[in-house]
Homo-oligomer: A and B are copies of this chain.
Amino acid sequence: MIAIFRYPKREQWKELMLRPSIENALIEPEVAKILLDIKQNGNEAVRRYASIFDVVSLGKFQIEAEDLRTKAREVDSKLAEAINTAYSNIEVFHKAQLHETTFIETMPGVLCWRKGIAIERIGMYIPGGTAPLFSTVLMLGIPAKIAGCKEIILCTPPNNDHSIHPAIAYAAELIGIEKIFAVGGIQAIGSMAYGTTEIPKVDKIFGPGNQYVTCAKQLVSKEGIAIDLPAGPSELAVIADESCNPEFVAADLLSQAEHGIDSHLILVTDYENVIQQVMLALEKQLAKLSRREIAAKVLKNSKVFLVKTIDEGMDLINLYAPEHLIISCRNDEEIAEKVINAGSVFLGNYSPESAGDYASGTNHTLPTNGCANAYSGVSVDSFLKNITFQKITKDGLKNIGETVELMAQAEGLDAHKNAVRIRLS
């Protein structure tokens, strides 16, 4: 069912690694029109589209604090405990991403420093639909809290009864998100980008979504609203040698395959037998899955590569730049040193991707579609600006002054030179 490529030539790699192209051009004009309407007509427009797209007619968009608390209490104690554990691990890992401000005297009297300051207002979009992604509430909300964002708002599509999934309510309450709005899709992105009488404008928008949400995020980012990452379908690459457990490899591939029919998978190995055994395991495990139809479609579009060496396999993987990479090899730590392009990496036979999706502590909002070549996943950094500061004394300016004057003059910028000259004369 999966296409197998044995010892493909290097000159073919680039083409073999191509993802299906994502075509937004068709929906872009429609999305742009709706965003402009929201920009101009605010809440009235948001309400109009909510009734068209979500077929609901709501009172206020904001969910009452009391309703939120009631919903949160519906989470059973075992799930609550699991969410608490995940919270704690994510918090511990992300807290270590905060850096002390370092003061550097680059020359005597020239003191420079860089300080991380929280983005004031952030918005997160949590998709509705079949799977209530409360894990994403944790993955975005915890680093936002650690960074110190003053205002965190959350938009998620309304259910028919204007309620919210208990686990989302529970996660939001843990983080302390008080402003939750039952607004979905393009309307949610437009509201957070421009602000309406009900929904506050934010400085940066985070979170996954369908192609309309993705397109809307891309369009508002052109207007100066920051967004977390260019979005694309989820991906997994597994590199495995003979020490791997084919049942585990198959389970990991399927966990990625169940996300959605546009998910993307590759398996790279230097051992023919791994291919055979993984194939058998896939068939066996697939039959038992509730989302087997989705997973089967994904497998059909997936690729297996047999390579001469694991080193060569890593070259192939770095070219692919996967969102997730599992290294199921004997010397996993040594191979991990060769990773150049990936979002998050899982080492050894007991590090399934799903551990990172939920609870190991790393973030699950990661670069997709090959963007791992230049983008990082979400971290506390994503919720901060690093502002630079400098304080120069009169003597410091004497030390640096001639350098500045000469360079300004060579660039033909008189007034830049004069700003130093006037202070020293």
Cα distance A369–B85 when bound, in Å?
42
Known: A96-B104, A114-B97, A339-B117. A285 touches B418 (CB 8 A): yes
Q: Whole-angstrom distance from the CB of A228 to the nearest CB of chain B?
A: 11
- CB-CB nearest in chain B for A387: B342
Stretch among A2-10, A105-113, A184-192, A303-311 lining the B interface? A105-113
Q: Is the CB of B415 within 8 A of A388?
A: no
Q: Does A61 contact B (CB under 8 A)?
A: no
Q: Does A158 contact B (CB under 8 A)?
A: no
A411 partner, pick from B134, B230, B392, B417, beta carbons under 8 A: B134
Number of copies: 2
A391 partner, pick from B131, B347, B379, B413, beta carbons under 8 A: B347
- Size band of the interface chain A makes with B: 35 or more
Q: Does A120 contact B (CB under 8 A)?
A: yes
Proximity string of chain A (94-138) to chain B, C-beta cutoff 8 Å, 1 when within and 0 when not:
001101001010110010101001011000000000111111000
Q: Is the CB of B133 within 8 A of A361?
A: no
Within 8 A of B (CB), among A48-71: none
Q: Does A89 contact B (CB under 8 A)?
A: yes
Q: Is the CB of B408 within 8 A of A358?
A: yes
Q: Does A315 contact B (CB under 8 A)?
A: no
Q: Does A226 contact B (CB under 8 A)?
A: yes
Q: Please name all residues of chain B whose beta carbon is closer than 8 Å to the beta carbon of A354 when the two chains form the complex.
A: 404, 408, 413, 416-417, 419-420
Q: Is the CB of A289 within 8 A of B82?
A: no
Known: A79-B407, A415-B251. A117 touches B340 (CB 8 A): yes
Q: Please name all residues of chain B whose beta carbon is closer than 8 Å to the beta carbon of A255 when the two chains form the complex.
A: 413, 415-416, 418-419
26 contacts between A and B (CB under 8 A): A88-B106, A89-B107, A96-B102, A120-B340, A132-B410, A133-B411, A224-B230, A224-B370, A248-B419, A251-B419, A251-B422, A289-B414, A332-B391, A344-B387, A344-B388, A344-B389, A345-B387, A346-B391, A346-B392, A350-B397, A356-B388, A357-B408, A357-B416, A358-B404, A358-B408, A359-B407
* Chain A interface residues (CB < 8 Å from chain B): 78-79, 81-83, 85-86, 88-89, 92-93, 96-97, 99, 102, 104, 106-107, 110, 112, 114, 117, 119-120, 130-135, 167, 203-204, 218, 221-222, 224-226, 230, 245, 247-248, 251-252, 254-255, 257-259, 285, 288-291, 295, 332-333, 336, 339-363, 367, 369-377, 379, 381, 384-394, 396-397, 400, 402-404, 406-408, 410-420, 422-423
A92-B104, A226-B371, A354-B419 known; 4 new pairs, CB 8 Å cut-off, are A134-B407, A341-B385, A355-B397, A360-B390
